[in-house]
A and B are shown apart, each in its own frame.
Chain A
Amino acid sequence: MAEAALPGARLERRDALLGLALIAPTVLVLGAVIVYPLLSAIYLSLFSLYTPTLEGHWVGLANYRAVFGSSGFWSALATTAVWTVGTLTLQVLFGLAMALLLHQNILFRSLARSLVLFPYFLSTVVAVLVWRWLFNDLYGVVNHALMAAGIIDAPVSWLGTMPNAMLSIIVVGAWKFFPFVVIAILARLQTIPEALYEAARIDGAGPVSRFFDITLPQLRDVLTIVILLRTVWDFKEFDLIYLMTGGGPVNGTRTLPLIVYQQAFGLNQMGLAAAHAVAMMLVMLVFMLAYLRRAGGRVA
Chain B
Amino acid sequence: MADRAEPGRLALNAPATRRTALRLLAGAGAAAGLGLTAGCASDDGRRTLRWWSPQAAPDQVKMYRAQIAAFEAGNPGVRVVFEPTSDEGYPAQLAAAFAAKQVPNLVTHLPSFTAQNYYARGLLEPVDDVARAIGEQRFFPGANDIYRTGDGTLCAVGIGNTAVDMFWYRKDLLQKAGLSAPPATWDELREACRRMQGGGVYGAALPYGMNGMTSLIFIGFIHRAGGQLFSPDLEVAIDSPATYDALEFFKSMREYCPAGASNFSWGESLTAFVSGATATGIYGGRVLANVAAQNPGIAGAISCTTYPTMSREIPAWTFNDFPCLFIPKGAPHLAETKAFAASLFAPPLYIDQLHAAPGHVLPTLQTIAADPAYLANPLIARYPAEIDLMTRTAAAGHNLGQETAKHRPNLKASEIISSNTIAELVQRVVLDGEAPRPAVAATAARLRELMRG
B415 and A266 contact, CB distance less than 8 A: yes
Question: A161 contacts which chain B residues (CB < 8 A)?
Answer: 262, 431
Question: B268 contacts which chain A residues (CB < 8 A)?
Answer: 132, 136
Question: B420 contacts which chain A residues (CB < 8 A)?
Answer: 246-247, 262
A157 and B262 contact, CB distance less than 8 A: yes
* Closest residue of B by beta carbon distance from A137: B260
Given known contacts A247-B420, A266-B415, A160 and B209 CB-to-CB distance under 8 angstroms? yes
The reply on B35 being an interface residue by CB < 8 A is no
**Chain B interface helix/strand/loop/mixed:** helix
The reply on B427 being an interface residue by CB < 8 A is yes
A248 and B209 contact, CB distance less than 8 A: yes
The reply on A122 being an interface residue by CB < 8 A is no
CA distance A94 to B438 in the complex (A): 45
A265 and B92 contact, CB distance less than 8 A: yes
* Closest residue of A by beta carbon distance from B262: A160
Question: B123 contacts which chain A residues (CB < 8 A)?
Answer: 52-53
A249 and B259 contact, CB distance less than 8 A: no
The reply on A180 being an interface residue by CB < 8 A is no
A52 and B424 contact, CB distance less than 8 A: no
Question: A245 contacts which chain B residues (CB < 8 A)?
Answer: 210, 263
Question: A139 contacts which chain B residues (CB < 8 A)?
Answer: 271, 275, 277
Q: Mark A250-277, 1 if CB is under 8 A from B, else 0.
A: 1100000000001011111000000000
CA distance A165 to B96 in the complex (A): 33
The reply on B231 being an interface residue by CB < 8 A is no
The reply on A154 being an interface residue by CB < 8 A is yes
CA distance A158 to B262 in the complex (A): 10
Question: B98 contacts which chain A residues (CB < 8 A)?
Answer: 52-53
The reply on A51 being an interface residue by CB < 8 A is yes
A93 to chain B, nearest CB (A): 28
A138 and B275 contact, CB distance less than 8 A: yes
Count of A residues near B, CB < 8 Å?
Answer: 38
CA distance A251 to B121 in the complex (A): 31
The reply on A28 being an interface residue by CB < 8 A is yes
The reply on A187 being an interface residue by CB < 8 A is no
Question: A28 contacts which chain B residues (CB < 8 A)?
Answer: 5
B260 and A160 contact, CB distance less than 8 A: yes
Question: B208 contacts which chain A residues (CB < 8 A)?
Answer: 160
Question: Which residue in B121, B265, B432, B450 is a CB contact (below 8 Å) of A267?
Answer: B450
CA distance A136 to B263 in the complex (A): 9
CA distance A247 to B209 in the complex (A): 10
A59 to chain B, nearest CB (A): 13
Question: B99 contacts which chain A residues (CB < 8 A)?
Answer: 51-54
Q: Mark B407-424, 1 if CB is under 8 A from A, else 0.
A: 000000001001110011
The reply on B148 being an interface residue by CB < 8 A is no
Question: B260 contacts which chain A residues (CB < 8 A)?
Answer: 135-138, 155, 157-160
Question: A250 contacts which chain B residues (CB < 8 A)?
Answer: 210, 424, 427-428, 431-432
CA distance A250 to B210 in the complex (A): 7
The reply on B211 being an interface residue by CB < 8 A is yes
* Closest residue of A by beta carbon distance from B277: A138
Given known contacts A21-B12, A156-B259, A161-B262, A262 and B209 CB-to-CB distance under 8 angstroms? no
The reply on A197 being an interface residue by CB < 8 A is no
B residues in contact (CB < 8 Å) with A: 5, 9, 12, 91-92, 94-95, 98-99, 118, 121, 123, 208-211, 258-263, 265, 268, 271-272, 275, 277, 415, 418-420, 423-424, 427-428, 431-432, 450, 453
Minimum-distance CB pairs A-B, first 8? A160-B262, A248-B210, A266-B418, A137-B260, A160-B263, A265-B91, A159-B263, A52-B98
Besides the known contacts A158-B260, A249-B427, 9 further A-B residue pairs in the complex with CB atoms under 8 A apart: A25-B9, A28-B5, A52-B95, A155-B259, A157-B259, A246-B211, A248-B427, A262-B418, A264-B95
23 contacts between A and B (CB under 8 A): A22-B12, A29-B5, A51-B91, A51-B99, A52-B99, A52-B123, A53-B121, A132-B263, A138-B272, A138-B275, A155-B259, A155-B260, A157-B260, A157-B262, A160-B261, A160-B431, A246-B265, A246-B420, A249-B210, A264-B92, A265-B95, A266-B418, A267-B415
